A = this chain, B = another copy of it.
Amino acid sequence: MRVTTPPVISAQNLDLTFTTNDGPVHALSDVNLDIHKGEFVSFIGPSGCGKTTFLRVIADLESPTGGTITVDGTTPHQARLNRAYGYVFQAAALYPWRTIEANITLPLEIMGFAKTEQRERAEKALALVDLEGFGKKFPWQLSGGMQQRASIARALAFDADILLMDEPFGALDEIVRDHLNEQLLKLWDRTNKTICFVTHSIPEAVYLSTKIVVMSPRPGRVTDVIESTLPKERPLDIRESPEFLDIAHRVREGLRAGHAYEEAV
Protein backbone atom coordinates (compact mmCIF):
# COMPACT_ATOMS: atom_id res chain seq x y z
CA MET A 1 0.00 0.00 0.00
CA ARG A 2 2.89 2.32 0.88
CA VAL A 3 5.19 0.91 -1.75
CA THR A 4 4.87 3.92 -4.01
CA THR A 5 7.19 6.05 -1.86
CA PRO A 6 10.82 4.93 -1.72
CA PRO A 7 11.73 2.97 1.44
CA VAL A 8 13.24 4.86 4.37
CA ILE A 9 15.70 2.07 5.03
CA SER A 10 16.71 -0.32 2.34
CA ALA A 11 19.26 -3.12 2.64
CA GLN A 12 20.44 -5.13 -0.35
CA ASN A 13 22.57 -8.27 0.08
CA LEU A 14 23.95 -6.76 3.24
CA ASP A 15 26.91 -8.62 4.66
CA LEU A 16 28.98 -7.98 7.74
CA THR A 17 31.91 -10.04 9.00
CA PHE A 18 33.81 -9.11 12.15
CA THR A 19 37.45 -10.04 12.19
CA THR A 20 38.35 -11.16 15.69
CA ASN A 21 41.49 -12.76 17.02
CA ASP A 22 39.95 -16.18 16.84
CA GLY A 23 38.75 -15.96 13.29
CA PRO A 24 36.04 -14.04 11.47
CA VAL A 25 32.50 -13.83 12.84
CA HIS A 26 29.84 -13.66 10.18
CA ALA A 27 27.30 -11.45 11.92
CA LEU A 28 25.06 -10.55 8.96
CA SER A 29 24.71 -12.52 5.77
CA ASP A 30 22.82 -11.50 2.68
CA VAL A 31 20.23 -9.40 4.43
CA ASN A 32 17.58 -7.87 2.16
CA LEU A 33 15.01 -5.65 3.76
CA ASP A 34 12.97 -2.58 2.91
CA ILE A 35 11.43 -0.47 5.64
CA HIS A 36 8.96 2.22 4.67
CA LYS A 37 7.98 5.45 6.29
CA GLY A 38 5.71 4.97 9.27
CA GLU A 39 6.37 1.27 9.66
CA PHE A 40 6.96 -0.31 13.05
CA VAL A 41 9.42 -3.14 12.45
CA SER A 42 10.38 -5.61 15.15
CA PHE A 43 13.51 -7.74 14.98
CA ILE A 44 13.42 -11.00 16.84
CA GLY A 45 15.83 -13.88 17.00
CA PRO A 46 18.07 -15.82 19.33
CA SER A 47 20.95 -14.18 21.10
CA GLY A 48 23.85 -13.39 18.79
CA CYS A 49 21.88 -13.50 15.56
CA GLY A 50 22.85 -9.99 14.52
CA LYS A 51 19.87 -7.86 15.58
CA THR A 52 22.00 -5.28 17.32
CA THR A 53 24.52 -5.40 14.51
CA PHE A 54 21.85 -4.60 11.94
CA LEU A 55 20.63 -1.62 13.94
CA ARG A 56 24.20 -0.44 14.30
CA VAL A 57 24.72 -0.62 10.56
CA ILE A 58 21.69 1.57 10.03
CA ALA A 59 23.10 3.99 12.62
CA ASP A 60 26.51 4.08 10.93
CA LEU A 61 28.08 2.54 14.02
CA GLU A 62 29.34 -0.40 11.95
CA SER A 63 30.29 -0.52 8.30
CA PRO A 64 28.97 -3.43 6.27
CA THR A 65 31.55 -5.57 4.52
CA GLY A 66 29.28 -6.28 1.59
CA GLY A 67 26.05 -5.20 -0.05
CA THR A 68 24.46 -1.77 0.18
CA ILE A 69 22.24 0.02 2.60
CA THR A 70 20.49 3.37 2.28
CA VAL A 71 18.91 5.37 5.06
CA ASP A 72 16.61 8.23 4.13
CA GLY A 73 17.74 7.73 0.55
CA THR A 74 21.36 8.41 1.38
CA THR A 75 24.28 6.60 3.07
CA PRO A 76 24.03 5.82 6.77
CA HIS A 77 26.95 8.16 7.25
CA GLN A 78 25.14 11.10 5.67
CA ALA A 79 21.98 10.19 7.54
CA ARG A 80 23.89 10.29 10.81
CA LEU A 81 25.30 13.69 10.00
CA ASN A 82 21.73 14.81 9.24
CA ARG A 83 20.73 13.47 12.64
CA ALA A 84 18.10 11.39 10.93
CA TYR A 85 17.52 8.96 13.76
CA GLY A 86 17.34 8.55 17.50
CA TYR A 87 18.95 5.46 19.01
CA VAL A 88 17.91 3.75 22.24
CA PHE A 89 20.57 1.33 23.42
CA GLN A 90 20.07 -2.01 25.11
CA ALA A 91 21.25 -0.40 28.37
CA ALA A 92 20.17 3.07 29.39
CA ALA A 93 23.64 4.60 28.91
CA LEU A 94 22.80 7.74 30.85
CA TYR A 95 25.72 9.87 31.94
CA PRO A 96 25.89 9.59 35.73
CA TRP A 97 27.24 13.11 36.18
CA ARG A 98 24.22 14.69 34.50
CA THR A 99 20.75 14.98 35.92
CA ILE A 100 17.96 13.25 34.02
CA GLU A 101 17.02 16.56 32.46
CA ALA A 102 20.61 17.32 31.48
CA ASN A 103 20.85 13.86 29.97
CA ILE A 104 17.85 14.58 27.84
CA THR A 105 19.13 17.97 26.73
CA LEU A 106 22.52 16.45 25.85
CA PRO A 107 21.70 15.79 22.19
CA LEU A 108 19.97 19.15 22.01
CA GLU A 109 23.07 20.94 23.27
CA ILE A 110 25.15 19.12 20.71
CA MET A 111 22.78 19.96 17.92
CA GLY A 112 22.78 23.58 18.98
CA PHE A 113 19.21 24.13 20.13
CA ALA A 114 18.46 27.31 22.07
CA LYS A 115 18.47 27.03 25.85
CA THR A 116 14.77 27.69 26.25
CA GLU A 117 13.86 25.22 23.56
CA GLN A 118 16.09 22.65 25.20
CA ARG A 119 14.17 23.02 28.42
CA GLU A 120 10.80 22.87 26.72
CA ARG A 121 11.65 19.79 24.75
CA ALA A 122 13.12 18.03 27.76
CA GLU A 123 9.94 18.69 29.66
CA LYS A 124 7.80 17.35 26.86
CA ALA A 125 9.96 14.27 26.46
CA LEU A 126 9.83 13.60 30.21
CA ALA A 127 6.05 13.83 30.10
CA LEU A 128 5.91 11.39 27.20
CA VAL A 129 7.58 8.70 29.31
CA ASP A 130 5.76 9.56 32.55
CA LEU A 131 8.79 11.01 34.29
CA GLU A 132 7.50 14.48 35.14
CA GLY A 133 9.15 15.74 38.30
CA PHE A 134 12.20 13.50 38.05
CA GLY A 135 14.23 15.86 35.86
CA LYS A 136 16.46 17.04 38.67
CA LYS A 137 17.39 13.56 39.89
CA PHE A 138 20.58 11.79 38.94
CA PRO A 139 20.35 8.52 37.03
CA TRP A 140 21.44 6.34 39.91
CA GLN A 141 18.60 7.71 41.97
CA LEU A 142 16.09 6.11 39.60
CA SER A 143 15.08 2.51 39.15
CA GLY A 144 16.29 0.60 36.14
CA GLY A 145 12.94 0.98 34.44
CA MET A 146 12.88 4.71 34.97
CA GLN A 147 16.39 5.00 33.64
CA GLN A 148 15.39 3.12 30.53
CA ARG A 149 12.45 5.46 30.05
CA ALA A 150 14.75 8.45 30.47
CA SER A 151 16.94 7.09 27.74
CA ILE A 152 13.89 6.79 25.51
CA ALA A 153 13.00 10.37 26.33
CA ARG A 154 16.49 11.39 25.33
CA ALA A 155 16.08 9.72 21.95
CA LEU A 156 12.68 11.33 21.46
CA ALA A 157 13.75 14.83 22.46
CA PHE A 158 15.20 15.88 19.15
CA ASP A 159 12.34 14.42 17.23
CA ALA A 160 14.13 12.43 14.54
CA ASP A 161 11.96 10.66 11.99
CA ILE A 162 13.55 7.28 12.58
CA LEU A 163 13.71 5.60 15.97
CA LEU A 164 16.12 2.69 16.48
CA MET A 165 15.40 0.82 19.71
CA ASP A 166 17.52 -2.09 20.90
CA GLU A 167 15.58 -4.13 23.47
CA PRO A 168 14.53 -1.02 25.34
CA PHE A 169 12.19 -2.86 27.68
CA GLY A 170 14.34 -5.90 28.39
CA ALA A 171 14.82 -5.14 32.06
CA LEU A 172 11.25 -4.22 32.96
CA ASP A 173 8.48 -6.17 34.56
CA GLU A 174 5.51 -7.20 32.55
CA ILE A 175 3.07 -4.58 33.78
CA VAL A 176 5.42 -1.64 33.26
CA ARG A 177 6.35 -3.13 29.96
CA ASP A 178 2.72 -3.36 28.87
CA HIS A 179 2.23 0.24 29.87
CA LEU A 180 5.25 1.44 27.93
CA ASN A 181 4.23 -0.64 24.95
CA GLU A 182 0.92 1.16 24.89
CA GLN A 183 2.62 4.55 25.23
CA LEU A 184 5.03 3.72 22.44
CA LEU A 185 2.23 2.67 20.15
CA LYS A 186 0.41 5.93 20.87
CA LEU A 187 3.50 7.97 20.19
CA TRP A 188 4.14 6.13 16.95
CA ASP A 189 0.53 6.59 15.90
CA ARG A 190 0.65 10.30 16.64
CA THR A 191 4.01 11.09 15.04
CA ASN A 192 4.14 8.62 12.18
CA LYS A 193 7.79 7.85 12.95
CA THR A 194 9.54 4.87 11.44
CA ILE A 195 10.54 2.54 14.27
CA CYS A 196 13.00 -0.35 14.27
CA PHE A 197 12.58 -2.33 17.46
CA VAL A 198 14.65 -5.27 18.74
CA THR A 199 13.04 -7.60 21.25
CA HIS A 200 13.28 -11.09 22.69
CA SER A 201 9.61 -11.29 23.50
CA ILE A 202 7.27 -12.78 20.94
CA PRO A 203 4.09 -11.16 22.35
CA GLU A 204 5.78 -7.80 22.44
CA ALA A 205 6.90 -8.11 18.83
CA VAL A 206 3.46 -9.15 17.68
CA TYR A 207 1.67 -6.55 19.75
CA LEU A 208 3.74 -3.61 18.53
CA SER A 209 4.72 -4.24 14.96
CA THR A 210 3.42 -3.82 11.46
CA LYS A 211 6.26 -6.08 10.34
CA ILE A 212 8.19 -8.74 12.23
CA VAL A 213 11.63 -9.74 11.04
CA VAL A 214 12.73 -13.14 12.33
CA MET A 215 16.44 -13.77 12.26
CA SER A 216 18.65 -16.81 12.81
CA PRO A 217 22.26 -16.94 13.87
CA ARG A 218 25.55 -18.10 12.46
CA PRO A 219 25.61 -16.36 10.09
CA GLY A 220 22.89 -13.84 10.93
CA ARG A 221 20.22 -14.17 8.26
CA VAL A 222 16.64 -13.01 7.90
CA THR A 223 14.61 -16.23 7.93
CA ASP A 224 11.13 -14.79 7.87
CA VAL A 225 9.41 -11.43 7.42
CA ILE A 226 5.88 -11.44 8.78
CA GLU A 227 3.52 -8.60 7.89
CA SER A 228 1.10 -8.11 10.72
CA THR A 229 -2.60 -8.19 9.93
CA LEU A 230 -3.57 -6.60 13.24
CA PRO A 231 -5.34 -3.23 13.07
CA LYS A 232 -3.53 -0.04 13.99
CA GLU A 233 -5.77 0.38 17.04
CA ARG A 234 -4.51 -2.19 19.56
CA PRO A 235 -5.96 -2.47 23.03
CA LEU A 236 -3.91 -4.65 25.39
CA ASP A 237 -6.37 -7.51 25.30
CA ILE A 238 -5.91 -7.88 21.56
CA ARG A 239 -3.20 -10.24 22.77
CA GLU A 240 -5.80 -12.82 23.60
CA SER A 241 -7.39 -12.70 20.14
CA PRO A 242 -6.93 -15.73 17.86
CA GLU A 243 -5.39 -13.53 15.16
CA PHE A 244 -2.70 -12.40 17.61
CA LEU A 245 -2.05 -15.96 18.77
CA ASP A 246 -1.79 -17.02 15.19
CA ILE A 247 0.90 -14.53 14.33
CA ALA A 248 2.68 -15.34 17.59
CA HIS A 249 2.63 -18.99 16.68
CA ARG A 250 4.15 -18.25 13.29
CA VAL A 251 6.90 -16.22 14.90
CA ARG A 252 7.57 -18.96 17.41
CA GLU A 253 7.85 -21.52 14.65
CA GLY A 254 10.29 -19.30 12.77
CA LEU A 255 12.37 -18.86 15.89
CA ARG A 256 12.42 -22.54 16.70
CA ALA A 257 13.70 -23.26 13.20
CA GLY A 258 16.59 -20.90 13.90
CA HIS A 259 17.34 -22.71 17.14
CA ALA A 260 17.50 -26.06 15.42
CA TYR A 261 21.25 -25.61 14.83
CA GLU A 262 22.06 -25.72 18.50
CA GLU A 263 21.47 -23.29 21.19
CA ALA A 264 23.33 -20.00 21.19
CA VAL A 265 26.65 -19.88 22.98
**Residue ranges of A at the interface with B (Cβ–Cβ < 8 Å):** 45-48, 130, 142-146, 172-176, 179, 200-202, 240, 245, 252, 255-256, 258-259, 263-265
Contact = CB atoms under 8 A, between A and B. Distances in A.
B264 A46 contact: no
Contact of A255 (B145, B174, B255, B263): B174
Given A46-B175, A143-B263, 7 more contacts: A46-B176, A47-B143, A47-B144, A47-B145, A142-B265, A175-B263, A176-B263
The 3 closest A-B pairs by CB, nearest first: A173-B200, A143-B265, A175-B259
A17 to B, nearest CB: 19
Contacts of A264: 143, 145, 173, 176
B175 A145 contact: no
Most B Cβ at <10 Å: residue of A146, A173, A202, A256: A173
Contacts of A142: 265
Contacts of A176: 46-47, 259, 263-264
B46 A173 contact: yes
Contact of A256 (B48, B175, B255, B265): B175
Contacts of A245: 240
Contacts of A45: 173
B145 A174 contact: no
Contact of A263 (B174, B179, B252, B265): B179
A201 B179 contact: no
B240 A146 contact: no
Contacts of A174: 200-202, 252, 255
Contacts of A265: 142-143, 146
Contacts of A175: 46, 255-256, 258-259, 263
Nearest to A240: B245
